[in-house]
Amino acid sequence: MTSIRDVAREAGVAISTVSKVLNHYPNVSPETRNRVEEAVRKLQFVPNAAAATLSSKMPARICLVINSAPSSRLNDEISMQYLSGAINCARKLGMDVTIAFSYSMEERSVEASIQYLRTQNVGGLVVCTLDKTQSRLIELIESGEFCTVVIDAPFLAQRTSNISIDNETAQYEVAGRMLEENHCSRVLYLSGDDNGYVSAARLGGMKRLARDKKLSLMVRNGHFSERRAQEITRRYGAQYDAVVCASDMMALGAMRELIRMDIFRPVCGFDGLKLMGYAGKQMYTVKQSFDAIAAESIREVQRLMAGESGKKIVMPYKIVRMTYDDVID
């Protein structure tokens, strides 16, 4: 294997000079820089990342914690976007990303996870999907052992940042838009589970809208479950003008049931899954840019690793209408 030493010899300079060129240090004359770069090309030199991290002692790795329980397969679309956003961004920044699944972190003790991450030279965590049942992961975050960015959950500390869209306002807006267009005033709201960190904010947005627009509002807990959404809609759907859902999956269930009942009620969801195209009718939803969120998370965790302190980041979103034709290929 060709090393930095060979490059140095080829270019007729010292090893350290090569290193400086490679790492874009300022104090190198253009001339030597050229010589070195040419030698690099000629020898097809490739720096060894392991040696670099070992030498610099800088843990350049970030662990992306994602969720993919068998039960959530249909949400994989979201996870993949987190993944690609994070990986592409990290690669640009020269950081290395390793993947962990949140369910597997729940299977091990916190100490075991910490040990594993340390072994892997992980210095920062990006937690993509978190609910209140994931006690070990939460403990890991709160331990402050690693710089951490948590998506969609309100953790904040010296070395912990959080990032999300403004769920409250988004829910307010998407519901408001749909209700207005359809002249509805009696609303059935399917909220998310209490274990979900975003549920409260979304519910809050809906309640605020109800106050502002003097809506009659009934709230039922759909637990982010398509099946529950169906059941609730079957029972109460006919009595309301519209169904507002705190997630796309629930919106799908609600719409499916309404079609089965052969009554029309506008429905809106939340997240912008492609799957929404299969609802059968067009639907409003809140489209998040998960890859942008993940990219920003990577930047943020890098900031934290550089010693900066944790903060709260709010990302933009869009209200969109999705139909089958927007979605299929």
Partner DNA sequence: TTGTATGCGTTATCAG
Partner DNA sequence: CTGATAACGCATACAA
Residues in contact with a second copy by CB under 8 A are 1, 44, 46-51, 53-54, 57, 68, 71-74, 76-77, 79-81, 83-84, 87-88, 96-101, 104, 115, 118-121, 225-227, 230, 249, 253, 274-275, 278, 328-329
Q: Which of DNA, a second copy, none binds 32 (CB below 5-8 Å, type-dependent)?
A: DNA
How far is residue 135's CA from residue 144's CA, in Å, rounded to a whole number? 15
Residue 45 or 290 having the CB closest to DNA: 45
How far is residue 167's CA from residue 248's CA, in Å, rounded to a whole number? 14
CA R_g for the chain: 25
Judged by DSSP in three states, 242 sits in strand
Q: Which of a second copy, DNA, none binds 133 (CB below 5-8 Å, type-dependent)?
A: none
Q: What DSSP string describes 156-223?
A: -BTTEEEEEE-HHHHHHHHHHHHHHHTT--EEEEEEPPTTBTTHHHHHHHHHHHHHHHT-EEEEEE-T
Supply the minimum distance, in Å, between the C-beta of residue 74 and a second copy: 6
Q: Which of DNA, a second copy, none binds 104 (CB below 5-8 Å, type-dependent)?
A: a second copy
Supply the minimum distance, in Å, between the C-beta of residue 41 and DNA: 15
Cα atoms in the Cβ-side hemisphere of radius 13 Å centred on 316: 2
Supply the minimum distance, in Å, between the C-beta of residue 78 and a second copy: 9
Residue 105 or 138 having the CB closest to a second copy: 105
Burial class (CB within 10 angstroms; exposed 0-12, middle 13-18, buried 19+) of 279: buried
Residue 261 or 314 having the CB closest to a second copy: 261
Residues within the interface to DNA (CB under 7 A): 1, 3-5, 12-17, 19-20, 22-23, 26-29, 31-33, 45-48, 51-52, 54-58
Supply the minimum distance, in Å, between the C-beta of residue 60 and DNA: 10
Supply the minimum distance, in Å, between the C-beta of residue 30 and DNA: 8
- What are φ and ψ of residue 222, in 5° steps? -95, 0
CB 233 within 8 A of CB 257: yes
Q: How many residues in total does the chain contain?
A: 329
Q: Which of DNA, a second copy, none binds 28 (CB below 5-8 Å, type-dependent)?
A: DNA
Supply the minimum distance, in Å, between the C-beta of residue 37 and DNA: 12
Q: Which two tokens stand for residue 114?
A: 């910490």
Residue 21 or 64 having the CB closest to DNA: 21
How far is residue 83's CA from residue 101's CA, in Å, rounded to a whole number? 12
Supply the minimum distance, in Å, between the C-beta of residue 88 and a second copy: 7
Residue 121 or 182 having the CB closest to a second copy: 121
Q: Calculate the alpha carbon distances from 262 to 190, 234, 324 in Å.
A: 20, 11, 19
Q: Which of DNA, a second copy, none binds 31 (CB below 5-8 Å, type-dependent)?
A: DNA
Name 242's bridge partners: 187
CB 219 within 8 A of CB 208: no
Measure the CA angle with vertex 232, ends 231 and 235; round to 5°: 90
Residue 6 or 241 having the CB closest to DNA: 6
Supply the minimum distance, in Å, between the C-beta of residue 98 and DNA: 18
Residue 23 or 109 having the CB closest to DNA: 23
Residue 54 or 156 having the CB closest to DNA: 54
Q: Which of a second copy, DNA, none binds 158 (CB below 5-8 Å, type-dependent)?
A: none
Q: Which of a second copy, DNA, none binds 58 (CB below 5-8 Å, type-dependent)?
A: DNA
